[in-house]
Amino acid sequence: MADNAAIVAGVEVSTDHWICGRRVSASERFADISPVDGSHLCSVAAGNKAVVDEAVDAARKAFPAWAALGPEGRLPVLKRFAEGIKARAKDLAAVETMDNGSLLAGNLHRVVPRAAQNIEFFADWAMTLKDHVIESPDVINHVRYDPAGIAALITPWNAPLMLTTWKVGPALAAGNTIVVKPPEWAPLTCSLMADIAHAAGLPAGVLNVVQGIGETAGDALVNHGDIDRISFTGSTGTARLIGQAAARSITPMSAELGGKSPFIVCADADLDAAAQTVAAQYMNAGQVCLAGTRVLVEASIEEVFLAKVRDAAAHMVVGDPRDGATRVGPLITQEHFERVAGFVDRAKADGAEALWGGSPANFGALYFQPTLFRHVDPAWEIAQQEVFGPVLTWQTFSSDDEAIALANGTQYGLAGVLFSRDEARAMRIASRVVAGTLWVNCFFIRDLAAPFGGSRNSGIGREGGSWSFDFYADIKNISVRRGSFGQTGG
Ligand code: NAD
């Protein structure tokens, strides 16, 4: 097969850019290696400034017509786009698994349906933003959610399809045209997404995909200068660089970044449910931004709860992510594997005790054992920095104030988990934990109408429901003096 397409998990995928409704090839390419088995999946077009310029130009030209359609004109094509994602669920799930090592069953049953929902939910929501009127004594305020222009969408490898559609849905529904820069470690489902959008009838230039390396293609995109919104999901370090570019061009930026989320377990909690949920933090080898990786346990139940977590963690089978019994698949690359192993080695050197795990798994090259560290000082690196691997820390608290202080004791504020049967206590603690999302007696349940984002170094802004449109739309108030149009002036 030629360089510009590949068969991955039996699915044909283009490895070229998608610009102005056609594939654009490149002589410069980068290797896409599967973390599942180390196989070379394909070589992917490596975008540069010239390709970014072409994509932004296509998006700029397509913008007036797409914007002019209004939410009702965009609705049918976005609904067909969502249906197209559902129709190719098996292909998308299989390709995502080979590309980033995430669990096949999870991709099929949760990620792909959610990707389709990301498109249709925001298309529907955009319809509710018309005719937003605020009546005041002297004027009538007609609030408009106008399209902003071109949105640059940059996403990471741990959930490319889900995270990219989470941006594509509201950006398109708001009437923007877009340039997507997929993650270089897992770029393929974004390519399939472009085919699906095209088959759904999305006009040429409305959705463009520039493949490439972050430091070149991503950098050229955020520094282009004629971009109206930058939506970024990825690491805090990269956000600092992108933020500088956004500051130079005064471009609004939304950032969903890393985390080191607390998982607080009170003595009055349903300990069985809490233990199962702690073990679930190992899913996808802990490469989940929202994972509650710092387990904070009320001291009075430490030993009984530890036994339950040990039992639950024993079921976190390490293996091939295509196997239904697997709970913990591979880390994404050798580079990332070494990063995770480095964190583990330094935690041991600091004096943390690995109650289980702490070494590579006896499976394939990139697989690491689920690990739990006890006797962790809150100041140590392992309690402060995001590992992004199957590594949890364990600390105890003796009062709610202590739990809250530990929970808030990092630079991050993405999410948190709290288990307690005492509603008043749970709400008291939850309200004082610094986090964009705090799950009580549950984990990972998302309503797309609810706000999502991170505090502190975990992000800038909120997306979801109306918050997405506060970002992706250009909000204008047409404030009309009452009676100034005679009979028709209100
Ligand atoms: P990363 O920051 O290295 O890369 C993310 C994206 O940015 C990639 O597409 C990359 O190519 C691009 N990029 C890199 N350098 C760039 C530059 N200079 N200019 C423009 N673009 C550039 O992050 P990653 O390693 O791919 O992802 C893991 C991180 O993402 C973790 O910190 C994780 O917590 C975070 N994450 C956050 C969320 C969330 O919703 N808050 C979700 C998933 C992952």
Ligand 1 within 6 A of CB of 252 = no
Query: pTM score > 0.85 for this model?
Result: yes
Number of Cβ within a 10 Å radius of residue 299: 13
Q: Whose CA is nearest to atom 21 of ligand 1?
A: 218
pLDDT score recorded for residue 2: 66
Q: Has residue 131 got a pLDDT over 90?
A: no
pLDDT score recorded for residue 432: 98
Closest ligand 1 atom to Cα of 458: 41
Show me where the domains of the chain are located.
Answer: 5-257+454-477, 262-440
CB 179 within 8 A of CB 167: no
What's phi and psi for 347, nearest 5 deg?
Answer: -65, -40
Ligand 1 within 6 A of CB of 48 = no
d(C-alpha 379, C-alpha 406), whole Å: 10
The answer to whether 5-257+454-477 and 262-440 have equal CATH topology is: no
- Measured CA to CA in angstroms, residue 250 lies from 229, 233, 244, 245, 262 at distances of 10, 19, 10, 8, 34
Catalytic residue among 42, 266, 289, 386: 289
Query: Where are the alpha helices (H) located in 3-156, listed in sequence order?
Result: 49-68, 70-87, 89-100, 104-106, 112-127
Best residue among 30, 44, 48, 158 to mutate for probing ligand 1's pocket (most ligand atoms within 8 Å of CB) is: 158
Give the mean pLDDT of the chain: 97
Number of Cβ within a 10 Å radius of residue 90: 15
Retrieve residue 282's tokens: 């190992």
CB 92 within 8 A of CB 192: yes
Q: Has residue 1 got a pLDDT over 80?
A: no
Q: Whose CA is nearest to atom 35 of ligand 1?
A: 234
Q: Whose CA is nearest to atom 10 of ligand 1?
A: 214
Question: Which residue in 70, 412, 24 sits closest to 191, CA to CA?
Answer: 24
pLDDT score recorded for residue 169: 98
Q: Has residue 12 got a pLDDT over 90?
A: yes
SS3 (DSSP) at 364? coil
**DSSP 8-state symbol, 226:** -
Report domain 262-440's class: alpha beta
214 Cα–ligand 1 center, Å: 9
**pLDDT (mean) for 407-425:** 98
Q: Has residue 81 got a pLDDT over 80?
A: yes
Ligand 1 within 6 A of CB of 233 = yes
**pLDDT (mean) for 70-85:** 98
| Annotation marks residue 256 as catalytic | yes
183 Cα–ligand 1 center, Å: 8
**pLDDT (mean) for 182-209:** 98
CB 235 within 8 A of CB 215: no
CB 197 within 8 A of CB 84: yes
pLDDT score recorded for residue 489: 46
Ligand 1 within 6 A of CB of 414 = yes
- Measured CA to CA in angstroms, residue 365 lies from 34, 187, 331, 387 at distances of 11, 21, 9, 18
Q: Give first-to-last CA distance, the chain, whole Å.
A: 66
Ligand 1 within 6 A of CB of 462 = no
Q: Has residue 486 got a pLDDT over 80?
A: no
Q: Has residue 190 got a pLDDT over 60?
A: yes
Q: Whose CA is nearest to atom 30 of ligand 1?
A: 234
d(C-alpha 429, C-alpha 415), whole Å: 14
d(C-alpha 483, C-alpha 194), whole Å: 49
Catalytic residue among 54, 96, 184, 256: 256
Q: Which residue has the tokens 């009984």?
A: 304
pLDDT tens digits for 45-69?
Answer: 999 999 999 999 999 999 999 999 9
- Measured CA to CA in angstroms, residue 332 lies from 67, 156, 163, 320, 367 at distances of 38, 11, 17, 13, 9
256 Cα–ligand 1 center, Å: 9
Q: Was domain 5-257+454-477 assigned CATH 3.40.605.10? A: yes
Ligand 1 within 6 A of CB of 238 = yes
pLDDT score recorded for residue 201: 98
274 Cα–ligand 1 center, Å: 30
pLDDT score recorded for residue 3: 75
pLDDT score recorded for residue 448: 98
pLDDT score recorded for residue 487: 57
pLDDT tens digits for 198-240?
Answer: 999 999 999 999 999 999 999 999 999 999 999 999 999 999 9
pLDDT tens digits for 338-350?
Answer: 999 999 999 999 9
pLDDT tens digits for 139-180?
Answer: 999 999 999 999 999 999 999 999 999 999 999 999 999 999
Ligand 1 within 6 A of CB of 157 = yes
| Annotation marks residue 289 as catalytic | yes
Best residue among 256, 289, 446 to mutate for probing ligand 1's pocket (most ligand atoms within 8 Å of CB) is: 289
Question: Which residue in 452, 472, 474, 449 sits closest to 461, CA to CA?
Answer: 452
Ligand 1 within 6 A of CB of 160 = no
Q: Whose CA is nearest to atom 26 of ligand 1?
A: 156
DSSP 375-403: S--TTSHHHHS---SSEEEEEEESSHHHH
What's phi and psi for 392, nearest 5 deg?
Answer: -115, 155
Q: Whose CA is nearest to atom 13 of ligand 1?
A: 214
Query: Where are the alpha helices (H) located in 136-287, listed in sequence order?
Result: 160-173, 188-199, 219-222, 236-249, 271-280
CB 428 within 8 A of CB 400: yes
- Dihedral sign, Cα of residue 247, residue 253, residue 254, residue 256: negative
pLDDT score recorded for residue 490: 46
Number of Cβ within a 10 Å radius of residue 2: 8
